[in-house]
Amino acid sequence: MITNPAVNWLYSSEPEASTNGRRIPVPRGRLLGGSSALNGMAFVRGQAQDFDTWAQMGNQGWSYESVLPFFKRMESYGGGGDDTFRGRDGPLRVTNPEPREPFFAAVIKAAGEVGIAHNPDYNGARQDGIAMSQATIASGRRMSTARCYLDPVRRRSNLRIETGAVADGLLFDGKRCIGVRYSVGGPRRGELREARAAREVIVSGGTINSPQLLELSGIGQPERLQSLGMEVRQPLPGVGENLRDHYAPRTKWAIGTKGITYNDTARGLGLVRQALRYALSGRGLLGSVGAPMRAFVRSRDGLAAPDLLLGWVPMLTEPGPKGPKIARQSGVTCYAHPMRPESKGHIHVVSADPRRPPAIHFNFLSAPIDATLTARAVRIARAIMTAPAMAPLQVTELAPGSDRDSDEEILDWVRGAAETTYHPVGTCKMGSDAMAVVDHRLRVHGIDGLRVADASIMPTLTSGNTNAPSIMIGEKAADMVLKDATA
Ligand SMILES: Cc1cc2nc3c(=O)[nH]c(=O)nc-3n(C[C@H](O)[C@H](O)[C@H](O)COP(=O)(O)OP(=O)(O)OC[C@H]3O[C@@H](n4cnc5c(N)ncnc54)[C@H](O)[C@@H]3O)c2cc1C
């Protein structure tokens, strides 16, 4: 699905210095459930401090204490943990995969040797430590938002789901949003239709498409819109700004001991065995989360909370005709990156034509602290992979290569090789400052009857993956809509 145009918008970023002029793939789900229907299925909420920061920025009702009930309400977590933090009867089933492969036991031991303790519930009281990834997988099946939230209510008489429809403009009566114009009939602009709203319109197109739809509707930076011949309905300079993502180098390691990685156990006949295992038990590679193990780590002593994320995938991939495929060489991939990057990019339309993809500029590593922390994260990955507990696996560093030792040598490799972990946020930032797009109740500034509810409203990137906080935003938006409707 990572390369399939039938289910993926397949965006890519503009070339920039931090990528050595490369375009970085920006996959986004183009199906019901959005990116939750093709993501890596790791379930990570973030840290209490992430949400307390949002509240301190003036976003009333978004402190950790305020959002915790929504995190609990969304999930049915069967993996234990503390009821203070975990939900037991929500729509989204979250599980703990079993660490069957000996590789994971070795990494947990190796992390312990460099001072990183095992923490079985990083979505509980503390995030710190190394753990198997919690997953939006149950009985071997993906728990997308389409499956968990839409499927149970499909028969409601007041719900109509229209697929194959692309919204290309909002409808207004003055400063009030009264509906949506959309086209049906495939990716080329087909028949145009309108949907009218009795109360309000909620845009949930995600971090790439929500600012695009606002700009196409005349909400954004006046000079930019005018230069493209577009009418300005509401000047809002923050639309499309404040883009943040995790720029994540993938360190690569050869494993000499046989039978440890999926390169050995999931190729040829091994793949048949994996398919059988999946069919019988829902487990193994085919029932697995994208990166089955992760560590939340502090770059230095004295920090209040972890600032780096490392994730392990027990295999190497290589390019294939239909996208990445399992490589012949046996090995391990470990990505490592700062969790709360300060570098900010932007996404803007380049044409009034809704079919033209917007231009995505990440500006990775433009904040010096991001470069420092990225090099530090790679070094911590190296320390774990070369700790004594890993010796029985016969580990050799492939990338960046042990000869790249200084920050500059590591960053030089990062610029030529890193990609994101697909967590863009922030382009319709929530807040009350001049660059904010929505207020703390997710209402677009200056327009009545219009909310944005998706990852684009995050003022900062949360500490980890973004599916769980995006669903929390959806839960909280639903609560606001209901409260406003009955007020
Ligand atoms: C490959 C990949 C792997 C990931 N792995 C993980 C992971 O393991 N764990 C994790 O927590 N997060 C992961 N994420 C991120 C996570 O899935 C997203 O942060 C989350 O889904 C964002 O939710 P959203 O509602 O903001 O946007 P999306 O989920 O992208 O939903 C937007 C929806 O709007 C639709 N849309 C957009 N524009 C229009 C339009 N004009 N008209 C009609 N419909 C439109 C899209 O088709 C899509 O269905 C991953 C993402 C990707 C792409």
Q: Report pLDDT digits (tens) over 83-140.
A: 999 999 999 999 997 767 789 999 999 999 999 999 989 999 999 999 999 999 999 9
- Determine if ligand 1 sits within 6 Å of the CB of residue 428: no
Among 449, 480, 425, CA closest to 54 = 425
| Active-site residue (options: 246, 346, 348, 423) | 423
Q: Whose CA is nearest to atom 48 of ligand 1?
A: 34
Q: Is the CB of 420 within 6 Å of ligand 1?
A: no
| Ligand 1 center–CA 54 separation, angstroms | 21
Shortest-distance atom of ligand 1 to CA 212: 41
423 given a catalytic annotation: yes
pLDDT tens-digit profile of 216-271?
Answer: 999 999 999 999 999 999 999 999 999 999 999 999 999 999 999 999 999 889 99
Residue 43 is predicted with a pLDDT of 98
Produce one character per residue of 262-281: b if its CB has 16 or more CB atoms within 10 Å, e if not: bbbbbbeebeeebeebbeee
Roughly how many angstroms between the first and final C-alpha of the chain, as a whole number? 43
3-state secondary structure 165-228: EEEEEEEEECCEEEEEEEEECCCCCCEEEEEECCCCEEECCHHHHHHHHHHHCCEECHHHHHHC
Q: Which residues of the chain have pLDDT under 50?
A: none
pLDDT, tens digit, 9 for 90 and up, residues 396-421: 999 999 999 999 999 999 999 999 99
Tell me, using a 6 A CB cutoff, whether residue 462 lines ligand 1.
Answer: no
**483 Cα–ligand 1 center, Å:** 26
**Are the C-beta atoms of residues 262 and 331 closer than 8 Å to each other?**
no
Identify the H or E element spanning 138. Answer: strand 137-138
Give the pLDDT of residue 97.
78
Which residue's C-alpha comes closest to atom 8 of ligand 1? 40
- Match 């019988």 to its residue by tokens: 280
Mean pLDDT, all residues of the chain: 96
Q: pTM of the predicted model, to two decimals?
A: 0.97
Residues 332 and 314: beta-carbon distance below 8 Å: yes
List CB contacts of 233: < 8 A, sequence separation 6 or more.
Answer: 172, 175, 217, 218, 219, 447
Nearest ligand 1 atom to the CA of 35 is: 29
Atom of ligand 1 nearest to the CA of 2: 1
Count other C-beta atoms under 10 Å from residue 318's C-beta: 11
Regarding the beta carbon of 36 and ligand 1, being less than 6 Å apart is answered yes
What is the SS3 assignment for 40? coil
